[in-house]
Amino acid sequence: MRIDVSFIDRVGIAHEILAVLAERRINVTAVEVAPPHVFIDAPDLAEAAWVDLATALRRVAGVEAAAPVDILPGSRDRLHLEALLGAMADPVLLVDGDGTVLIANAATAAVSRRRATEIGGLAIGDLFADARLQVELVRSGFRAHPREAMLGGVPFQLDVVPVVDDGVAAGAVVTLLSPHRLGERMRGLQTLPEHGLEAILGASPAIQALKKRAARVADVDAPILILGETGTGKELVARACHQMSRRSDAPFLALNCAAVPENLAESELFGYASGAFSGAERGGKPGLLELADKGTVFLDEIGEMSPYLQSKLLRFLNDGSFRRVGGERESRVDVRILSATHRDLAAMVSAGTFREDLY
């Protein structure tokens, strides 16, 4: 039986309450004191003995009431926490101040191919097979910059929120975000019109013909090249094609090839591995292709793309695979490429500045 004893708070009253149970040799397995209440779990307490015990408890100076309860508050809170963690699609860990896992949700167990009970008690460095990760987190008070780590052969971005007690980090909540989930979050921040073609204004025959052509090709799951002068709304057409496609529920991410230098464009599009270059985030970072998995990447001003990046993009279009900058592991994603330019690509092919097989 579990009981709730309410009282007027004074020194020693909780000890006197427990002494009443001890005098009757009642086994107590848990006690939670939250003034003006003390909650007691006495699993061997029989209903027949409860009336006598309740009378004795009320005789303790300061005790106001004693009543049975279904569950202790701590147990209830833990059940609520476990239900909350179990409902989360992302893997989530609770760790203590030393980096030892206290609780892992079902998503973490599924990715790591372990039981959740087996993960509890593991050092986070052992779980990720990365001892340096644990050292970084603990030394920084769990305020380290977001970084990537591998679990179950899958790359995740770690989102770490410290649990602070009296100004000291007593542990952290660690959420593991896959590139696809990060892409979904980015999509949630986008404000796209509900119906893509409605964003393209105009009633001229040329505009109506453009809309009809866009509607025809939107659901064809193949790359699209959009040609037009600067400022004519090529990205609006690309967004409309994405929204009318079967990929509309997945991210739409864009890269302006004319606005960034080659090395930055490569890392933005393909991502980079840990230590790929000076200043790179430890653990690496996913690129737009990984973030937009199952969705669309729009390459604006593709005519400005360097020959090196053209060849790397061509390989991705051929088999859907690529390597991050400085990485050795092959990654494969399902992304549709839409591109646009104001340049005459046919003339660029003739001049040898744009790959004919990419065109």
| pLDDT digit string, tens, across residues 244-259 | 899 988 889 998 988 8
If one compares 84 and 125, the residue with the highest pLDDT of the two is: 125
User: Is residue 77 a part of any domain in this protein?
Assistant: no
| pLDDT digit string, tens, across residues 330-344 | 889 999 999 999 999
Which CATH number is 67's domain given?
Answer: 3.30.70.260
Mean pLDDT of 257-270: 85
User: Is residue 83 a part of any domain in this protein?
Assistant: no
Residues 171, 138 share a domain: yes
User: Is residue 358 a part of any domain in this protein?
Assistant: no
Which CATH number is 230's domain given?
Answer: 3.40.50.300
Residues 190, 164 share a domain: no
Mean pLDDT of 258-268: 84
Residues 155, 270 share a domain: no
| Domain final residue, candidates 156, 177, 198 | 177
User: Is residue 81 a part of any domain in this protein?
Assistant: no
Residues 198, 338 share a domain: yes
Residues 239, 324 share a domain: yes
Residues 223, 263 share a domain: yes
| Domain final residue, candidates 145, 177, 209 | 177
To the nearest 10°, report the CA torsion of 239, 242, 244, 245: 170
Confidence at 179, pLDDT banded by 50, 70, 90:
confident
Q: Are strands 147-151 and 252-256 parallel, antiparallel or unpaired?
A: unpaired
Residues 191, 163 share a domain: no
| pLDDT digit string, tens, across residues 46-73 | 988 999 999 999 999 999 999 999 999 9
Residues 66, 46 share a domain: yes
- How many domains, in total, are found in the chain? 3
pTM of the predicted model as reported, rounded to 2 decimal places? 0.56
Q: Could you tell me where the DSSP H helices lie in the chain?
A: 13-23, 47-58, 73-87, 106-112, 116-119, 124-127, 131-139, 179-189, 205-218, 234-243, 262-270, 288-291, 307-319, 345-351
**Rounded to a whole number, what is the distance in angstroms from the first to the last CA of the chain?**
76
Residues 166, 21 share a domain: no
User: Is residue 357 a part of any domain in this protein?
Assistant: no
Residues 235, 334 share a domain: yes
Residues 229, 299 share a domain: yes
- Identify the domain containing residue 147 by its residue range: 88-177
